[in-house]
Structures are given as C-alpha cells and as structure tokens.
Structure 1
Amino acid sequence: MYRTIRVPIEKGEEARLEVLTADLLEDTRKIRKLQTEKGTFLEIPVTEAAGEKIGNYPVIEQKNPEFLKKPGSLKEYLKNSLSEAELACVPSGWQVLGDIVIVSIPEFLNEKKLLIARALLSMYPKCRSVVRDLGIEGQFRQPKRELLLGSKTETVHKEHGCFFKQDVTKVMYSKGNLDERKRMSKIGSGEVVVDMFSGIGYFSIPMAVHARPEKIISIEINPESFAYLKENIRLNHVEDIITPILGDCSQAAPEGKADRVIMGYVGTTHHYLESAMKALKKSGGILHYHETVPENLSRTRPEERIKKAADCLGKKVEVLKTRRIKKYSPGVLHMVVDVRIFE
C-alpha cells in the first residue's frame, strides 16, 4: 500500500516540513496537487513507518501514485536549446540542499542562465528554487548567490539523520565536508565539547544527535548563522546537550572545561589555537584543527602552527591523525589535524 497525507494547499509547506523533520517523507513518489469538490489539496507521500496520523492529518492510501524519474544529464536536457560551444560550458555538477539547487554558471552562459535553471528544475521536480553561486565574500565568508527561479532561499536539508535549516544566500554549507561531519558524529560520547566556529551546527548537530556528549558549547559570531544554529538545535531535539553562544571564540570560549575542541573553520583558524588549548581541561584533551594550506606544506605547516601555540603555553602535543578533507582551490588543500594536548 502506498501511504500519503492529504493537506490543504495553503498548509502544504508546513506539512511537508513536519513530515521531513519526522524522517517520514517517501522520496520515490511525487508530491501531487489534487483538485476536489472540497478544494485544492496536496498529497504528500509518507513511508511505511508513519503511524495513523501525522499532526492533524490522517495517513491514507494513495491511489495511482506518481513516481519520480531519475534525473538525466543536464546537457541532454539542453541539447536542443544550446549551441555546441554553449553545451561544452554547461556545468557538470551542482549542489542540492533540501529543495534548492545551487549551481555555478560561467559568464559565457549568462544569457542562458534561466534556461539552465528551468532544466535543473525539470531534472529535480521536488526542488522549488534554483540559485546561482557566485563565490563567497566578507569576514563571515557569506555566499554571493542569485535567485534564478523560485521564490524562496530558505530550506531544510537532511543529512545523516540530522536536519539543517538554512538560507542558502546567507550561510555556507559544503557537501564536501560530509565525511568529516560523519566522523564527528561518532566521537565525544559523555564528554564536554567546545565547537569554536559552529556556524549553523555543522559538527555540533551530528555529534549531539549520534554521539550524545554530556555537553557541547557551540560558539558562533555571525548573527544570521547563530539564529539558524538555535533553530537547528530545536529541530534536532538536542536542547539538553548544546548550549549556543553568540560571540568571538577568543573571548567566548571557556577555560579549562573541555575534553575536546573542534576548530572547523578555515582562513585564520591558527590565530585561535591558544584560546582553543586554554579551553581544554588541565589534564589535557583532543583538538581537531582545520586549515587551508598549499599542497606542498599540507603535512608540515598545520602541525608546526599547533606546536608553536602549545610551546607558548608550556604544553605538549601528540599528533594523532592528519586527514585531507578536500581540494579547496587549485594547489590548496583543506586539512584537519587531530592532536592530544597535555601538560
């Protein structure tokens, strides 16, 4: 039996989010509009795990369900609309966050950007908006993005059993860091953790949901990211674990409290190493230090910076693991170093 809930169209987005955050959305079928004598409704497909009701809506059997087709290639969608030269410049990759597609389109195809956006929405019928990525800017590394199609840029993205609400034009979310978020979700059980650049909860949320530390102190300086951090704490029901703090890590980080400190920011992270080490308990603890570094220095510079900061505080360092996260830009790698800091 194919199961669904039927909701008035004006309540559709609210009900869809409720189903999504309950992890009950069945993603092989379409959300379908239905016109009846009683008005216009949406049928939202739900999984077998759904009970008899979701919110105020009974779960019913869906007749004649419509199934989603697997997306083909973007070039295939556009082959009759673009020249050979234009097709050669069509993006080969993009990011889907929740129900928003984020794509980089070269200037050469500027006049065809709406055509490309429409093709992407045809490929992803569950998505509602297409946003063009134009890079990042400013102290808070905010994305520069242009809404091409659709009316909203806020979405809820589900990943590894966690929910991340965000506005894709205001905060960054890198799918290239997925493995590191999964890794963080497996450690920290029973510990006190300080997440020094927590953003919208990239590492704090998976760790709280899956590892269940005693406490996570999540610090974020950007007010917009901080607002989403608080919302994501609520969405994932981890209010008893995560304490969010709005402020600069160098001033807001506690001293002598943490078993583990996460430094999941790149750019000027090394300036905060001493604050991170001071946050650890006197008996010592683990530091996860992120850095973007030229490839030829990737195995030396991050460790050297950690050891220099430790020397200034009279502490010792044991390097546990050095990992490559991803290629950040040509010739530059995003690395993370796990170290034990002790007296």
Structure 2
Amino acid sequence: MKWKRIGDILILNKKINDIEYFKKKGIKTIVKIEKIKGKVRKPEIKILYGSETETIHKENNCLFKLDISKVMWSKGNTYERMRIAKLVNKDETVVDMFAGIGYFSIPIAVHSQPKKVFAIEINPTAFKYLKENIKLNKVEKKVFPILGDCGKIAPELDADRVIMGYLPDPSKYLDSAMQCISDRGIIHYHEAVPDKLGFKRPINRIKSAAKDKDVKILHKRVVKKYAPGVSHVVIDALIH
C-alpha cells in the first residue's frame, strides 16, 4: 500500500504523484513516515502538505484521537482489533498490557460487555490520548487506564483475558501475563516472527512461560507482513 488515511491525514509509505487529488478529498495534512524509534514506537515524519498532525480517526464505530507525529496507528490491525472485541464474554475482566491509545481496549468496551478493562500504557503521550479516547467513546465505566510498566502492574491484577499487542517481541512480559491469570484465562499473544519459524516460536514461548499450567492453543493467525521474511502473528492460548 502506498498510502493510508487516518482521520483527515494521509500517511505515505511511498512517493505518490497526485497530491492535488487527495487535497480535494478533505485531506488536511500529508506526511511520510521516515522511521519508527524506540521502545514506545515513536514515529519520525516528514510533512509534505499542511501542518496539523492531530486527528480523530473512526474505525468499527469507535473514535480514536491521536497525533500521528507522536503515536503509531496500524490500519493492518483493523480486523484483529474487532476479532478480539467479539471474543470477550459478558462480565469478563480484561487486562490490556500495551494499551497505547486504546487500540484494543476501546473496541472491547464499545462492542462487548466486559466487567472491567484495565488499560496499561507506559508512554505518557499515548496515555494522554488513551484517557481522551475513553471519554470520547463514553466508556469511562468500563475502561480503567493505568500509566506505568505492565511488567510490574499486570501481576497485581486478576484477569480472565490478557492482551499482549506489542511488537516486535513482548516475550519477556509473558511471565507477568501468566501471573495475571489465577486459575483459568486466555492470552492473546502477538509477535513478529521470521516466516521460517512460523507459529512454533511464539507457541513454545507461551508454553515455557506457563510452567506447571496447561496450555491449549485456541487460534493462530498471521495478522500481516511485518518486514521482508517476517510476519506479525497472534496466538490465542487458554491457560488453565
């Protein structure tokens, strides 16, 4: 894909010739992503047209306010965000370990009936937008934002379902996720994996972290291509 639209901002992956066409379609800013930096995945962008980098993006009847110069948005995860929301059962407690601006937490609260969603985020900028998006979608009674390190916070919580939606490799947080599940629960584990390893590496990591607990793989799928020879995969694992 050469471009993607986030709200009224156009993000280019490759050079396009007809910028004027997009200006006529209600685009206020056109940018190109130069690189993604650090643990918090902060984008470095080049503005090609306009100046405003904050927008409100609508997806699956959810509203997401964000600044594309400060936080990431992946349109390739659209299906996955809704898939998880549909799996959440009534009165479940969900822990979203890498909540960002609410990518998973907001759709769960809007489309499901969870008891609580604990949305943990370490990046203060993303956390600011997470709190705004909770209000924007009127889910204050369902989503509880927590600023800090999920590796330390998650073990203090008790969940029926844990979402680990961080790339490229959240495996060092698997122990914390396991501690978050007392007797029985589901982990949605995301990882960027070399294609030659397939699903084997993430499944082995989940089983290793489970220790004396039993693991049943409920679902596995490729979410999208992450890099040449590398895929973003997700494993749904029942821990009991």
TM-score by length of 2: 0.95
TM-superposed CA distance for 1:121, in Å, is: 1.6
Aligned AA for 1:102? I
Q: Deviations over 1:46-87 (max 9, x none)?
A: xxxxxxxxxxxxxxxxxxxxxxxxxxxxxxxxxxxxxxxxxx
* Equivalent pair of 1:218/1:244 in contact (CA under 8 Å): yes
The residue that corresponds to 2:23 in the other structure is 121
Number of equivalences? 239
* Equivalent pair of 1:118/1:149 in contact (CA under 8 Å): no
Query: What percent of counterpart residues are identical?
Result: 51
More moved, 130-139 vs 209-218: 130-139
Alignment match of 1:158 (pick from 58, 62, 69): 58
- The 5-angstrom pairing of residues 132-171 of structure 1 reads 132-171=32-71
- 1:196 equivalent to 2:105? Answer no
CA distance in 1, matches of 2:172, 2:19: 41
TM-superposed CA distance for 1:93, in Å, is: 2.3
Is the partner of 1:253 in helix, strand or coil?
helix
CA distance in 2, matches of 1:232, 1:195: 15
The residue that corresponds to 1:262 in the other structure is 163
Alignment match of 1:328 (pick from 223, 226, 234): 226
- The 5-angstrom pairing of residues 255-294 of structure 1 reads 255=156, 257-280=158-181, 282-294=182-194
The residue that corresponds to 2:151 in the other structure is 250
The residue that corresponds to 1:50 in the other structure is none
* Equivalent pair of 2:95/2:162 in contact (CA under 8 Å): yes
Give every structure 1 segment of 4 or more consecutive aligned residues whose post-TM-superposition deviation is greater than 4 Å: none
* Equivalent pair of 1:290/1:334 in contact (CA under 8 Å): yes
- Greater Rg over alpha carbons, structure: 1
CA distance in 2, matches of 1:143, 1:212: 33
The residue that corresponds to 2:4 in the other structure is 95
The residue that corresponds to 1:67 in the other structure is none
- The 5-angstrom pairing of residues 1-343 of structure 1 reads 93-105=2-14, 116-122=18-24, 124=25, 126-188=26-88, 189-255=90-156, 257-280=158-181, 282-311=182-211, 314-342=212-240
Could you list the runs of 5+ residues in structure 2 that have no partner in the other structure?
none
TM-score by length of 1: 0.67
CA distance in 2, matches of 1:247, 1:268: 18
* Equivalent pair of 1:105/1:133 in contact (CA under 8 Å): no
CA distance in 1, matches of 2:63, 2:193: 30
Aligned AA for 2:225? K
CA distance in 2, matches of 1:98, 1:267: 26
Higher RCO (CA 8 Å, separation ≥ 6 residues): 2
